[in-house]
Amino acid sequence: MATGSDTTGGTTGDDTTGATSAEEIARAFSSHRFEAALSHFADDVIWTLVGASDPVVGRDAVRTVCASTAKDLANATTEFQRFRTVVGEDSVAVDSLARYTDPSGKVSVVASCDIYDFAEGLVTEIVSYTVEVFE
């Protein structure tokens, strides 16, 4: 049986508290707290960014993409207007709507859904759907 939770509003911080459950790992990664999640990724994890040309393969490659994303977001404010998880037996889905504001005041709103597959407590695959929405 799947369970779910819904958290709206708020901002992300620099919390690097280690995630332990599948839901905590997925929530950490989807809210850009990459370091809290990456130690729970399989060495050969596959991350498919739907619409991108090739999947990101391997924890080190995922870490590199995350470092670039973190750098891009370092000076932005992130506010999650919707952040909901659905937990299954070996998978977690995170549905979010995030509002990003850069230092100049430019706003981007992004809807995303990340689907995580787990085996033996490790993330083995992520499929991410992301689209910018206009207010």
Tokens describing residue 73: 């977001």
Are the CB atoms for 13 and 95 separated by under 8 Å? Answer: no
pLDDT in tens, 12-63: 333 445 568 999 999 999 999 999 999 999 999 999 999 988 999 999 999 9
Q: Which residues contact 75 (CB under 8 A, 6 or more apart)?
A: 102, 103
Query: What architecture does CATH give domain 7-133?
Result: Roll (3.10)
Q: What is the pLDDT of residues 76-97, one digit of tens each?
A: 999 999 999 999 999 999 999 9
pLDDT tier, 68 (very low <50, low <70, confident <90, very high otherwise): very high
In angstroms, the CA 68 to CA 8 distance is: 26
Answer with the residue of higher pLDDT: 19 or 110. Answer: 110
The residue extents of the domains of the chain are: 7-133
Strand order in the sheet with 77-87: 3-6, 77-87, 91-101, 107-119, 122-133, 41-49, 56-57
